Amino acid sequence: MNRRRFLAQAAGGAAGIGAGRLLLGPSGSARAAADALQLDAALATGVREVATLDALPGKVPLIKLSYRPPNYETPISYFDSPITPNDAFFVRYHLADIPTAIDAGTWRLKIGGEAATSPFALSLDELKRDFRATEVVAVCQCSGNRRGLFQPHVPGVQWGPGAMGNARWKGVRLKDVLERAGVKKDAVEVVFDGADKPIVDKTPDFIKSLPLSKALEEDVLIAYEMNGVPLPPLNGFPARLVVPGWTATYWVKHLTSIDIATKPFDGFWMKSAYRIPNGKFPVVQRFLGQETAANTPITEMVVNSLITSPLEGAKVARGKPLAVRGIAWDGGYGIQSLEVSADAGATWSMATLGSDQGRFSFRPWSFSFTPQGRAAMILMARATNRIGQTQTSELILNPAGYHHNLMHKVSVTVG
């Protein structure tokens, strides 16, 4: 297989997205070549790591961070549209034993637990037939998105800005399924397990829980379709949890069981992993039943934005209009405004917000101006949501590298 080197924008540095990564990948389709050229344009402050531009079954070439378990990142070019194509959607697993083929005809979802009055099981056909279908457009974002850009370095999968995607999810309300099972008065949490498993006994199974109040919200779904087609195998087929506004750690794939619990779940992925220091982030929805004196589970996404065009290192024409485009998103409060700076943050101008596909969706934005002079120019983007939260200018340090929402910076050359 022929291979060539690609230098790519990863995002980052101490003041925004800008550190590069070295990608080794095969030449391929015209789209893959175009992606590679866009990646190639973006070396900023130095190579951070070696990764691979490679394709998984059913996927276009993505940025490979690890093969087993598979962790693959979406190139920035696919975020120039607010809906992320299924074949370009990022892939995130914690465990190496993932289902390669699930028979939709024999798959069953068990709903029960000690706080369920009437446990039962559902086939995929029954899930679709017996409950009212609903849809939501929502961002699925890994909690560690942009972790690879933290300074100083933190351990974990070294994601750039592409551990996320936005899709139209179709399924049934979790609330409706829980109501059929009967929720006892002493219920406090709902616990979810999927078909992915560890390969050794000492590795904890990936099991997550939600507070009952969150599980009963109208927008939380058991989804079986993504952008109008069945879920891709690597994104949760045949059914997955969709928790709009909250990070993807709760979006359990390949669902097999849902248990209504009378006490907080104490598995590793709740009591030890995916936790942030208390009081560091401006989150509104907290997981009070799982809090300790030192930390709390990560919950909703923080307000954020990304410049998708031009890319890092682009050459732009002096005296001609330049279109700056991007996306913004948050934990479901909605994007109020997006500001753009063409002078490294000295002055700001209001961008135009694009179509609104719902409060949990990417919100596209655009800004046009005419560059002058012949010099390097630093473009920046800053999003503000409808409850007044805005992106930070200084990285909020935390041990696991979560909630990276520095204002995005892109350097271009005028002339």
| Confidence bin at 21 (pLDDT 50/70/90) | very low
Cβ(90)–Cβ(75) under 8 Å?
no
Q: Are 146 and 306 in contact (CB under 8 A)?
A: no
Residue among 29, 22, 40 at smallest CA distance from 88 = 29
Q: Which of 48-57, 77-86, 154-163 has the lowest mean pLDDT?
A: 48-57
188-192, 373-377, 381-385, 394-398: range with lowest mean pLDDT: 373-377
pTM here? 0.89
Q: What domains appear along the chain, each with residue ranges and CATH number?
A: 3-92 (no CATH), 108-297 (3.90.420.10), 304-414 (2.60.40.650)
Tracing tokens 């190579």 back to the chain, one arrives at 47
pLDDT greater than 70 at residue 5: no
Residue 177 confidence (pLDDT) above 90: yes
Q: How confident is the model at residue 55 (pLDDT cuts 50, 70, 90)?
A: confident
Locate all alpha helices (DSSP H) within 151-304, ordered by sequence: 174-181, 212-215, 268-271
> Residue 365 above 50 pLDDT?
yes
Q: Is the CB of residue 266 less than 8 Å from the CB of residue 91?
A: no
The residue type at 397: L
Confidence check: pLDDT of 40 > 60? no
Q: What phi and psi values does residue 317 have, to the nearest 5 degrees?
A: -85, 135
Separation of alpha carbons 141 and 331, rounded Å: 10
Three-class DSSP category at 403: coil
The secondary structure of 69-84 as a DSSP string is TTEEE--GGGGGSSSP
Average pLDDT, the chain: 89
- The pLDDT score that the predictor gives to residue 415 is 86
- At 373, is the pLDDT very low, low, confident or very high (cuts 50, 70, 90)? confident
The mean per-residue pLDDT over the stretch 300-318 comes to: 96
pLDDT-based confidence at residue 375 (cuts at 50, 70, 90): confident
Euclidean distance between CA atoms 362 and 359, whole angstroms = 8
Q: Does 301 score more than 50 pLDDT?
A: yes
Query: Which pLDDT score is estimated for 51?
Result: 61
Residue type, 63: I
- pLDDT tens for residues 194-243? 999 999 989 999 999 999 999 999 999 999 999 999 999 999 999 999 99
The residue that leads in pLDDT, 47 or 348, is 348
CB 356 within 8 A of CB 315: no
% pLDDT > 70, the chain = 87
Tens digits of per-residue pLDDT, 111-140? 999 999 999 999 999 999 999 999 999 999
How far apart are the two ends of the chain, measured CA to CA in Å?
38
- Report DSSP letters for 241-262, one per residue: EE-TTB-GGG--SSEEEEEEES
Of residues 9 and 91, which shows the higher confidence score? Answer: 91
Q: What is the pLDDT of residue 12?
A: 30
CB atoms closer than 10 angstroms to residue 360: 25
